[in-house]
């Protein structure tokens, strides 16, 4: 690109003034006349059979318009909810899921009836009056127990609880046979709730006159919803419009379709009135897909000189009662090799059904898990051979790119030692090690932890992803429209719900077309606008894929403008130069035409032959590879020897996402991501009681940390552009979360080393650490 | 928030509040700051038939020093307890405790009367009231704090009874309240309070170590006998039977009781 005035600029997010003033428009803010409000009656049991449902009292309750159950929905909703067939050939069991329970509820919170009333209060009151005659069944809540022979099954009549059992690479025996040192460890990762600030919400309006459905909803991927829900309701995409307006965060939990996504529009169609449902916080904690919830048996092999040789993992995932639409993407094997060269890596993944809400992608989806595992195992190995963990990492980093990892994935570019060295220097690592030694002599427990993370993102090259998605390409689309006076509106198939696309995408287009940033409008989230399909936002894909679609469309517009400019300047096209929004003939920059003038000309009479009127273009971009961001995070902690409480002293993150469009937005993503990683390391955990009751149904019990609990953070970067795309960019939306839990837990384990404690599972709560201290003493 | 339907009435005097409560009957509830009651209504764990809003009752909002006792009106908000010069001078421990309650939103609305009437085992003021032998005064009776807190969420309050004030002794000596929690705005997992009285004796109390606030007589006695704070604090868990929860096992709570008691005494100033 010739012009770089906006790309790279540290400018404030343009969406913020609107959002912080309360001028955002979220789904619940939308009001349609004659709306009916929906409340959902949910299973109080983790596993139970419905003998009968008596809705008569609810139906008589004031303001109630209708009470609907599976019997009412069956005729209008076709088929089961979708499951991306990630590993279809090997899949063992994918229990069918209809959006509302007909006979057997398989987790606490599954919908069994909906009440529709004139207002939300009446709907909630009547929901209490729906009488369900339940026959409780034995629930399967524990992952290990669920795999034992003779365990009750999460679904009646199922042969067992195995959802999938796949081996990616079976063999690492040679590496292990050759190794001087082998370290084994079992590691648990707790279930997490995504807790977006805005819970889910849906408003659906059916026009029987023209047979069109409009749905406003809080979603990361409105086009997918149109595809799935429109399909199930038998409404063609041309008459089904999904609008995801301002969305208050998703973190992965607003990608897949949910039962209510079908029930609300179906009810609107049945009743002929708009229907609205807004989730409560407790419903969100109970029913939005959870993340993680896994344990792993791991072994690492290497030599005493620090050389790593082999890694083995068996991953057990608590996938909940159904296989989440994109649940299989949590199988983290392919990223397990991390930033290191191995001789062999073997991996098996087992998905296990339990009577809990399904798990699905949650910020990082598979990559935080993998990073945590490999970074923990490398630390355990370093400790075993008595070498500094920074040294072990340096000795084993991949240094040549492109690099093909043991699972056949090709890392595009990197400079892993560069990021680590910079982070160590900023953190004052050597100095801290000396302080740590002095503190240990006084009985204080200081620790430092590293996480030299890498990740795969920018989903995805369609050649690689289509088999996992049932043929969906996972490309991205954009449309650029230049109006006659030169202002620009862009439509993108991604969706921004905290990522700041309105700002970064406008920066890219402003430079590409040489128009003022202020005159570039970015629109997304409305399936009635822009290209016919968009793939949504998740997996840190929006810039590397969506940004490239936008750049490609802008390039097409510029190429056409150049043709017109050549005509206006009476020159040959190849002699015309485009620079900062101006066209001129090579060598005579004083005779120039602005892009605004050319835009006006594009809609006027007298265009050259063969050039169509107008100045707009659509592009679909299919990347040639994934992109591979990386970095080095360092966390310093002190553990209270008496209480086990972890105090975060300092956090340093040096990240590399290639070229940076807007440093402030990158930093914001890392701050938030690190906070979520710290949340997993120390605070959050979804807990179910043995009988299947969710014990963390409010923010009192589900301990999301706040700004108060965050350490001082120092952020910096290295820049290693991606060769995969013209922008040279990689994703950064999930990096903080991917990196942080390992840095924190490595620091905690380092602090506890003098007590002989090797490993701490998450969340590393004071209670848990105190228990480990007691055991170590005994 | 989607609570069940309820009647709503505002009272401007204690007497009016009491009459309204009588009129609405047993299922009615006083509404003070709402920061315990409304979360329960939101979950429909509480479905009161009526709320009698006492926020307009001006006569319950005061702090006075009288005959060497500190009288704190039931409607005094946490934020006022934090800042009130009379409290800061005469019972600085109470102001310190208020500093540690919830977050700004909670402190701006929550009231001492609400904490006392709600009788949550993790409430902070009940500990101070019990360890200092405060009195709880209603529109009908006076209680010694130790008799008022009968169990978890359980008090002798009758349906039309309104907590009017809490009467504390003055104590200006060394003091400390050490509250252990995960997040800054969380309720205590365990907290320990220590106050030295003018006669040199100590009062020690614990929060969230049983169904009600606990006064640690064994620790107080050990200190009176001249035992070191470290040794004395070992008695903090004597006779405790805390229940476990998501954040702490009973054993860990007992351990915290000892550690925090020691810290409270050592850090008292
Ligand atoms: C996020 C959060 C964190 C919190 N953290 C803490 C904490 O760390 N420590 C702590 O102590 N508290 C904490 N609280 C609770 C807070 O202090 C509440 O304000 C308090 O428990 C109740 O006081 P209130 O005025 O809000 O009472 P309300 O919620 O209005 O009432 C509570 C109960 O007391 C009754 N009641 C209230 N006033 C009277 C009266 N004068 N006479 C008779 N009955 C009455 C009500 O009927 C109701 O049953 C927290 C609350 C929240 C939301």
- Centre a 10 Å sphere on the Cβ of residue A85 and count the other Cβ atoms it contains: 16
Q: What is the DSSP letter of A682?
A: I
d(CA A222, CA A205): 16
Q: Which of B17, B41, B110 to mutate to test the pocket of ligand 1 (most atoms within 8 A of CB)?
A: B110
d(CA A761, CA A772): 10
**Residue whose CA lies nearest to ligand 1 atom number 5:** B102
Q: Identify the band that residue A90 occupies on the pLDDT scale cut at 50, 70 and 90.
A: low
- For A712-763, the pLDDT digits (tens) are 999 999 999 999 999 999 999 999 999 999 999 999 999 999 999 999 999 9
- Residue A470: is its pLDDT beyond 80? no
CATH class of B7-53: alpha beta
Dihedral sign for Cα atoms in the order B43, B49, B52, B53:
positive
**Residue whose CA lies nearest to ligand 1 atom number 19:** B110
CA neighbor of A187 nearest in space, from A354, A306, A300? A300
CA distances from B54 to A91, A397, B33, B61, B228 (A): 62, 67, 9, 10, 47
pLDDT at A326: 84
pLDDT at A328: 80
A643–B2 CB contact, under 8 Å: no
- For A241-258, the pLDDT digits (tens) are 999 999 999 999 999 999
Q: What percent of chain A has pLDDT over 90?
A: 92
Distance of CA A769 to the CA centre of its chain: 30
Edge-to-edge strand list for the sheet holding A36-42: A64-69, A111-117, A36-42, A275-278, A201-207, A212-217, A240-243
- Residue B8: is its pLDDT beyond 60? yes
Asked whether the beta carbons of A607 and A633 are under 8 A apart, the reply is: no
Question: CATH number of A476-621: 3.50.50.60, 3.40.50.620, 3.30.300.130, 3.30.365.10?
Answer: 3.30.365.10
Q: What is the DSSP letter of A296?
A: E
Q: Give which of A122, A286, A707, A767 to mutate to test B binding, by max B Cβ within 10 Å.
A: A767
Regarding the domain delimited by A139-189+290-396, which CATH topology (the fold level of the hierarchy) does it fall under? Answer: Aldehyde Oxidoreductase; domain 4 (3.30.365)
Summary mean pLDDT of chain A: 95
Contacts of B233 in chain A (CB under 8 A): none
Q: Cβ contacts of residue A165 below 8 Å, gap of 6+?
A: A90, A92, A348, A349, A350, A351
Output the CA B246–ligand 1 centroid distance in Å.
Answer: 22
pLDDT at A83: 84
Structural domain boundaries in chain B? 7-53, 60-169, 175-268
Encode B141-164: b = buried (16+ Cβ within 10 Å), e = exposed: eebebeebbeeeeebebeebbbbb
Q: What percent of chain B has pLDDT over 70?
A: 100
Q: What is the mean pLDDT of the segment spanning A208-237?
A: 97
d(CA A345, CA A333): 9
CA neighbor of B245 nearest in space, from B256, B236, B234? B256
B180–A643 CB contact, under 8 Å: yes
Q: Which atom of ligand 1 is nearest to the CA of B29?
A: 47
Q: What is the mean pLDDT of the segment spanning B157-167?
A: 98
The H or E element spanning position A505 is helix A501-513
d(CA B175, CA B196): 6
d(CA B264, CA B269): 9
pLDDT at A91: 63
B185–A282 CB contact, under 8 Å: no
CA distances from A200 to A36, A225, A277, A363, B148 (A): 17, 14, 8, 17, 44
3-state class (DSSP) for residue B193: strand
Regarding the domain delimited by B60-169, which CATH topology (the fold level of the hierarchy) does it fall under? Answer: 3.30.465
CA neighbor of A740 nearest in space, from A700, A709, A776? A709
CA neighbor of A744 nearest in space, from A457, A540, A453, A317? A453
**Residue whose CA lies nearest to ligand 1 atom number 12:** B123
- Residue A116: is its pLDDT beyond 70? yes
- For A175-184, the pLDDT digits (tens) are 999 999 999 9
Distance from CA of B102 to the nearest CA of A (A): 11
Q: What is the mean pLDDT of the segment spanning A456-469?
A: 84
Asked whether the beta carbons of A562 and A248 are under 8 A apart, the reply is: no
CA neighbor of A646 nearest in space, from A654, A660, A636? A636
pLDDT at A4: 58
CA neighbor of B212 nearest in space, from B115, B141, B139, B94? B115
What is the CA angle A231-A235-A240, rounded to 5? 100
Structural domain boundaries in chain A? 31-137+197-249+254-287, 139-189+290-396, 412-456+625-778, 476-621
pLDDT at A30: 98
- Residue A665: is its pLDDT beyond 50? yes
Chain B within 8 Å of A277 (Cβ-Cβ)? no
The yes/no answer on whether domain A412-456+625-778 falls in CATH 3.30.200.20 is: no
Regarding the domain delimited by B175-268, which CATH topology (the fold level of the hierarchy) does it fall under? Answer: Enolase-like; domain 1 (3.30.390)
d(CA A67, CA A38): 9
- Residue of chain B with shortest Cα separation from A646: B182
pLDDT at A200: 98
pLDDT at A1: 39
- Residue A231: is its pLDDT beyond 50? yes
pLDDT at A3: 46
3-state class (DSSP) for residue A65: strand
Q: Respond yes or no on whether the N-terminal peptide bond of residue A402 is cis (omega within 30° of 0).
A: yes
pLDDT at A84: 77
d(CA A535, CA A220): 9
Q: Cβ contacts of residue B221 below 8 Å, gap of 6+?
A: none
Q: What percent of chain A has pLDDT over 70?
A: 99
Edge-to-edge strand list for the sheet holding B7-10: B7-10, B50-53, B28-31
CATH annotation of A31-137+197-249+254-287: 3.90.1170.50
Compute the count of residue pairs across chains A and B with CB atoms less than 8 Å apart: 57
Q: What is the mean pLDDT of the segment spanning A671-677?
A: 98
Chain B within 8 Å of A597 (Cβ-Cβ)? no
Q: What is the DSSP letter of B32?
A: S
pLDDT at A85: 67
Q: Identify the band that residue A289 occupies on the pLDDT scale cut at 50, 70 and 90.
A: very high
A705–B43 CB contact, under 8 Å: no
Do the two domains A31-137+197-249+254-287 and A139-189+290-396 of this chain adopt the same fold? Answer: no
Q: What is the DSSP letter of B165?
A: E
A767–B249 CB contact, under 8 Å: yes
CA neighbor of A5 nearest in space, from A513, A483, A489, A482? A513
pLDDT at A88: 46
């Amino acid at each position: 690109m010739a012009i770089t005035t906006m790309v790279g600029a540290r400018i404030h997010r343009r969406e913020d003034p609107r959002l912080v003033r309360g001028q955002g428009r979220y789904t619940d803010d939308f009001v349609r006349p004659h709306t009916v409000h929906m409340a959902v009656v949910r299973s109080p049991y983790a596993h139970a059979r419905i003998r009968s449902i008596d809705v008569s009292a609810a139906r008589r309750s004031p303001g109630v318009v209708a009470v609907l159950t599976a019997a009412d929905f069956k005729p209008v909703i076709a088929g089961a909810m979708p499951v991306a067939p990630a590993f279809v050939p090997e899949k063992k069991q994918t229990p069918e899921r209809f959006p509302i329970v007909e006979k057997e509820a398989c987790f606490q919170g599954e919908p069994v009836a909906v009440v529709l009333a004139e207002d939300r209060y009446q709907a909630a009151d009547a929901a209490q009056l729906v009488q369900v005659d339940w026959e409780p069944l034995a629930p399967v809540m524990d992952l290990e127990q669920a795999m034992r022979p003779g365990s009750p099954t999460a679904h009646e009549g199922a042969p067992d609880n195995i959802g999938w059992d796949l081996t990616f690479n079976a063999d690492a025996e040679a590496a292990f046979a050759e190794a001087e040192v082998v370290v084994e460890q079992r590691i648990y990762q707790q279930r997490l709730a995504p807790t977006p600030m805005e819970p889910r919400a849906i408003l659906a309006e059916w026009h029987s006159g023209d047979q069109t459905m409009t749905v406003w909803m809080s979603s990361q991927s409105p086009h997918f919803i149109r595809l799935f829900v429109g399909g199930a309701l038998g409404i063609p995409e041309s008459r089904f419009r999904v609008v995801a307006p301002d969305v208050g965060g998703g973190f992965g939990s607003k990608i897949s379709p949910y039962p209510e996504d079908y029930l609300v529009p179906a009810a609107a169609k049945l009743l002929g009135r708009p229907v609205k449902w807004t989730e409560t916080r407790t419903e969100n904690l109970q029913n939005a897909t959870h993340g993680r919830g896994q344990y792993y048996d791991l072994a690492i092999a290497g030599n005493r000189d620090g050389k790593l040789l082999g890694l083995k993992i068996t991953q057990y995932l608590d996938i909940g009662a159904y296989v989440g639409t994109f649940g299989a993407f949590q199988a983290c094997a392919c990223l397990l090799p991390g930033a290191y060269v191995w001789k062999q890596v073997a991996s098996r993944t087992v998905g296990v059904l339990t009577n809990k809400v399904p798990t699905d992608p949650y910020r990082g989806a598979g990559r935080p898990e993998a990073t945590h595992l490999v970074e923990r195992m490398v630390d355990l190995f370093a400790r075993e051979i008595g070498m500094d963990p920074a040294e072990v990492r340096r000795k084993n980093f991949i240094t040549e790119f492109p690099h093909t990892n043991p699972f056949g994935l090709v890392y595009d570019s990197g400079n892993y030692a560069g990021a680590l060295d910079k982070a160590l220097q900023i953190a004052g690592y050597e100095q801290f090690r000396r302080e740590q030694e002095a503190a240990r002599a006084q009985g204080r427990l200081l620790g430092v932890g590293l996480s030299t993370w890498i990740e795969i993102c920018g989903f995805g090259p369609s050649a690689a992803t289509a088999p996992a998605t049932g043929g969906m390409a996972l490309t991205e689309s954009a449309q650029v429209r230049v109006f006659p006076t030169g202002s620009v509106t862009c439509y993108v198939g991604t969706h921004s719900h905290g990522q700041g696309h309105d700002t970064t995408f406008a920066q890219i287009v402003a430079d590409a077309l040489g128009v003022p940033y202020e005159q570039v409008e970015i629109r997304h989230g409305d399936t009635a606008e822009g290209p016919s399909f968009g793939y949504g936002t998740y997996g840190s894909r929006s810039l590397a894929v969506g940004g490239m679609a936008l750049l490609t469309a802008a390039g097409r517009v510029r190429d056409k403008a150049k043709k017109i400019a050549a005509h206006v300047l009476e020159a040959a096209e190849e002699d015309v130069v485009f620079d900062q929004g101006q066209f001129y003939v090579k060598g005579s920059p004083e005779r120039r035409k602005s892009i605004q003038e050319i835009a006006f000309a594009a809609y006027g009479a007298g265009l050259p032959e063969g050039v169509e009127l107008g100045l707009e273009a659509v592009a679909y971009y299919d990347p040639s590879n994934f992109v591979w961001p990386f970095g080095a995070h360092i966390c310093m902690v002190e553990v209270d020897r008496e209480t086990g409480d972890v105090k975060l002293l300092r956090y340093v993150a040096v990240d590399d996402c290639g070229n940076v469009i807007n440093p402030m937005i990158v930093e914001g993503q890392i701050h938030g991501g690190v906070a979520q990683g710290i949340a997993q390391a120390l605070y959050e955990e979804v807990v179910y009681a043995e009988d299947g009751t969710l014990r963390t149904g409010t923010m009192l019990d589900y301990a999301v940390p706040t700004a108060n609990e965050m350490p001082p953070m120092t952020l910096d970067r290295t820049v290693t552009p991606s060769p995969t795309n013209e922008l040279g960019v990689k994703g950064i939306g999930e990096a903080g979360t991917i990196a942080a839990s390992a840095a924190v837990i490595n620091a905690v384990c380092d602090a506890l080393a003098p007590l002989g404690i090797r490993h701490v599972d998450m969340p590393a709560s004071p209670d848990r650490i105190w228990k480990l201290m007691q055991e170590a003493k005994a | 928030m989607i609570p069940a339907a309820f009647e709503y009435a505002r009272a401007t005097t204690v007497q009016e509040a009491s009459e309204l409560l009588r009129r609405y009957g047993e299922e009615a509830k006083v509404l003070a700051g709402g920061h315990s009651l409304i979360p329960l209504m939101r979950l429909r764990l509480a479905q009161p038939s009526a709320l009698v809003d006492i926020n307009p009752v001006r006569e319950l909002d005061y702090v006075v020093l009288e005959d060497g006792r500190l009288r704190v009106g039931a409607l005094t908000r946490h934020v006022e307890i934090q800042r009130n010069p009379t409290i800061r001078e005469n019972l600085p421990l109470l102001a310190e405790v208020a500093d540690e309650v919830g977050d700004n939103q909670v402190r701006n609305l929550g009231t001492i009367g609400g904490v006392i009437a709600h009788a949550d085992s993790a409430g902070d003021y009940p500990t101070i009231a019990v360890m200092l032998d405060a009195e709880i005064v209603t529109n009908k009776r006076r209680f010694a704090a130790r008799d008022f807190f009968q169990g978890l969420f359980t008090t002798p309050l009758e349906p039309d009874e309104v907590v009017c004030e809490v009467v504390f002794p003055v104590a200006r000596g060394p003091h400390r309240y050490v509250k252990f929690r995960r997040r800054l705005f969380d309720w205590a997992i365990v907290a320990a309070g220590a106050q030295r009285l003018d006669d040199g004796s100590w009062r020690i109390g614990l929060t969230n170590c049983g169904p009600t606030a606990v006064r640690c007589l064994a620790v107080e006695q050990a200190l009176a006998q001249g035992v070191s704070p470290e040794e004395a604090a070992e008695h903090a868990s004597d006779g405790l039977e805390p229940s476990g929860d998501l954040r702490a096992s009973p054993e860990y709570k007992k351990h915290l009781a000892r550690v925090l008691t020691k810290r409270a005494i050592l850090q008292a100033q």
